[in-house]
Structure 1
């Protein structure tokens, strides 16, 4: 299921890039949230994250001009992916990024734009049933959260909320520094 979801996510990001007529070199960073849709079936393997029959995918594509966001309903049972919303905004339009809810409870991601328009998605849900005896509830909660893509998306969007367009310059500088460090390390190994 995870492999299918990853393949579908890549295809849908590629479709969004084609829709916006973006080349890969124009995308500075991207992140996505994979959350359960409104109506779904769910299951999981022992120790693994919850997987759903329907997902709500929110890919965020960051370019020099701002953020391109798509909201997609992905239904594995019907083999369908429907774009339900497109949203474009400048970096300075991001007012706040937050997550509501404790780790073991329902968590909701919320991005608020300067005009007050919220982008809200329930990323994880509260599960009333107990985990199996040999499973750690905190670990299961973290695995499910990691599978949603929320930590990476928060990192990117919190950077934008805090630094605006400057985040791009800082991100490029950090990438250049990492590349320079890697190059120096490789040279030292060769010499």
Structure 2
């Protein structure tokens, strides 16, 4: 299954792949060179397909847990000052996604969207300390009945050139459903209330809708 945000790119990639195979067979007489071009085209085509994959990971809604919003490695667990919305200290948990990870963003909790804002910005590598505040990003706050207000921030990386955010202020969202997509390398930061019991450790591999980030 592929994510809808990849439909146009997958269509273009399919046309280019078929063209490369046909033109290579027609105009390249050297066998090893023809095979090399066709294999290279196949490689890039498969990379596009794997990037936009959207595995079916339906879950039972549970307000007592915060699930991972994306696939990737946990790179930050620390107390920070959050200056955009809360203007106080929060517990930050960050997940870095490489280009080979699933890039669907899912809602980590259910609740009411209190805040949703897009920020244009730079394209520093996603693990850069200033990426959270200087890169292109979206900030979303969801009010959950158990945890209170939870923020997540989609952050573009050096390769990411478009962030898709489905969260709209004033709407109710359901844990585990699609919240957006980040194209080609990125990171998601979660900002949780101080004292939240974190269920992951640094360098742990997280899976969206599978890994429990925190419990009440």
TM-score, normalised on structure 2?
0.28
Question: Which protein has the larger Cα radius of gyration, Structure 1 or Structure 2?
Answer: 2
Q: Which has the higher contact order (CA 8 A, sep 6+)?
A: 2
Identify, as 1 or 2, the structure richer in helix: 1
